Amino acid sequence: MTTPAVEDKKLMAPRRLTQLLDEGSLTYVASQVDGIGAISATGTINGREVVAFANDPSFQGGALGGAEGKVITDAYVIAMEKQCPIIGIWHSGGARLQEGIQSLKAFGEIFQAMTHASGKIPQVSVVLGPAAGGGAYGPALTDIVILGPEGRVFVTGPEVVRSVTGEDVDMLRLGGPEPHGRRSGVVHVVSETEDQAITDTRNIADLLGSQGTFNQSAITDTDLGAFMPESPVRAYDVHPLVDAVLDAGSGIELHPRWAPNLITALGRFGGRTVGLVANNPLRLGGCLDATSAEKGARFVRMCDAFGIPLLVMVDVPGYLPGVGQEWDGVVRRGAKLLHAFAECVVPRITCVTRKSYGGAYIAMNSRSLGATHVMAWEGAEVAVMGPVAAIRILHRRKLAEVPPENRDAVEQELAEEHKITAGGLPKCIELGAVDEIVEPSKTRTALASALAAAALPDGSFPRGNHGNIPL
């Protein structure tokens, strides 16, 4: 899609809403008139009713004042009454300076409406131009943020930054795809074109708003073991495994470049919307760290709030050690992931593919946190730490007496003994930490059976009663 000429800017908001909604379904709630920089409408996406609003950059750069604020808060009232998703198309220079404190009051009322709607109706934002000042917090308070190629999100613009701090920065570096798609975690999806941003918005709104009915008979097996390397210590990209678990072509990864050692994706499983969480050994060996724990917590809470079942694919060697992690708040942020899983009421099913060690074992939806069902592949290891690391602590004196040329062989012998004495999977099943051992080639149907068993009598799933901003 090409950017319209300046004289055609007033067509941008109506055109964007028309493109977003199903053909012929748009009905304006608040008509665009001179001096109003926002419009709203009701319509449908794939037949599901939604409410949408859009800033209009032809009016003072889409700056927001009292009238624009009312358009948006009224849209929220309608969406809450209809209990349907609400979508915001953001292209705003921030508060309208001519209105002074009235414009700040308008933003505050929008934020209050968003907070009251949090966890009750899906909120999706697509940023197609600047979202500055108060306009930056609007998207940030919603469940999913999509950034178009011209989208820029920042609280203070380049000129203010330059005058206050002396830093020479432009809007792209300050609030574009690199800072928010990779570093800050503000943006869930970065789209290469405006057309793609609208398509991504429609797809995500469909997954959240039209979750479908789970059809267990639609699940067929594929050998998920084929996506694993032959060596149990070799790193691999977990994306093909994630795609194979979900219905073909249905997955949308959120935050693909932010904390990529943990995958979070929405998709369908047996036709029903699910959330999938997976460690990615290709990045940081699959370790959890402060950032990925926070990423996972936000995703888990969103799924729980909207009654979206969770599938958790585990291959984690532990938490990433280091001074940097401790200083970065791995204790505080890691606790968010524990809290998110422990408070979940939505079904959450775990499959351990290779290993699950230490505190990360607990955090990745363990039975002790209340997981609905835990399965493991034959040969998977569930332990405090890997056997070699364990015996180096338990038998450090004995190993110190072994000649260096023999130490590797002795370590391997002691490690095998430790696996037996520590119990392995049989011990985990005895203790109730693992419910069953499954073959990789039968994992999808095992996941389906566990999910079907967790459904309510009417086939639906419970949902949490909380907002979507993690504690």
- Residues known to be catalytic: 133-134, 359-360
CB contact at 8 A, 406 and 381: no
CA angle 225, 450, 226 (to 5 degrees): 5
Q: How far, in Å, CA of 142 to CA of 224, rounded?
A: 34
Residue 461: DSSP 8-state: -
Q: How far, in Å, CA of 281 to CA of 262, rounded?
A: 9
Q: How far, in Å, CA of 141 to CA of 144, rounded?
A: 9
Q: How far, in Å, CA of 347 to CA of 312, rounded?
A: 11
Which structure tokens are listed for 394? 């338990």
Contacts of 1 (CB under 8 A, 6+ apart): 193, 194, 195
Q: Tell me, what amino acid is at 391?
A: I
Nearest to 160 by CA among 176, 148, 151, 171: 171
Nearest to 356 by CA among 338, 375, 337, 329: 375
Query: Tokens 């009915």 — which residue?
Result: 213
Q: How far, in Å, CA of 302 to CA of 294, rounded?
A: 12
Q: What is the per-residue burial (b if ≥16 Cβ within 10 Å, else e) of 217-249?
A: eebeeeebeebbeeeeeeebebbebbbbbbbee
